[in-house]
């Protein structure tokens, strides 16, 4: 799987890239939205860097929205799978908080 790790100036890209590679991803760090949106998966790193993400999206919101809409079925199935094992949104948020996300 080709994974685009988007570089918008926030997050520990090196560590995240190594983690994604250990899971089998072929990771490319990029600041090019067209390239990033063409990958099999897109990762936006940086917990608490919402402002940096918004600034990086300027001029590219339509393409990003389209990518999210195209991934909606996958996101839906992931959420259904979590519900099937009785994981609520609150549970997921608790797990993420415990992991420092």
Range of the domain at 35: 2-59
Across the beta sheet with 41-43, the strand order is 26-30, 2-6, 41-43
Mean pLDDT of the 59-64 span: 82
Q: Is residue 90 part of a domain?
A: yes
Same domain, residue pair 14 and 52: yes
Residue 28, pLDDT score: 95
Q: Is residue 64 part of a domain?
A: no
Same domain, residue pair 47 and 79: no
| pLDDT of 77 strictly over 70 | no
> For residue 64, what are the contacts with CB-CB under 8 A and spacing of at least 6?
33, 37, 57
Number of domains in the chain: 2
Q: Is residue 65 part of a domain?
A: no
Residue 82, pLDDT score: 67
Helical spans, DSSP H, in the chain: 13-22, 33-37, 50-57, 61-70, 72-84, 89-98
Same domain, residue pair 32 and 81: no
């Amino acid at each position: 799987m080709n994974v685009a790790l988007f570089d918008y100036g926030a997050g520990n890209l090196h560590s995240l890239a190594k983690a994604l590679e250990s899971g089998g991803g072929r990771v490319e760090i990029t600041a090019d939205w067209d390239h990033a949106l063409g990958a099999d998966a897109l990762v936006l790193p940086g917990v608490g860097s919402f402002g940096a993400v918004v600034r990086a999206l300027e001029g590219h919101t339509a393409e990003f929205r389209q990518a999210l809409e195209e991934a909606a079925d996958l996101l839906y199935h992931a959420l259904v799978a979590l519900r099937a094992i009785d994981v609520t949104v609150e549970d997921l948020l608790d797990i993420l908080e415990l992991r420092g996300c």
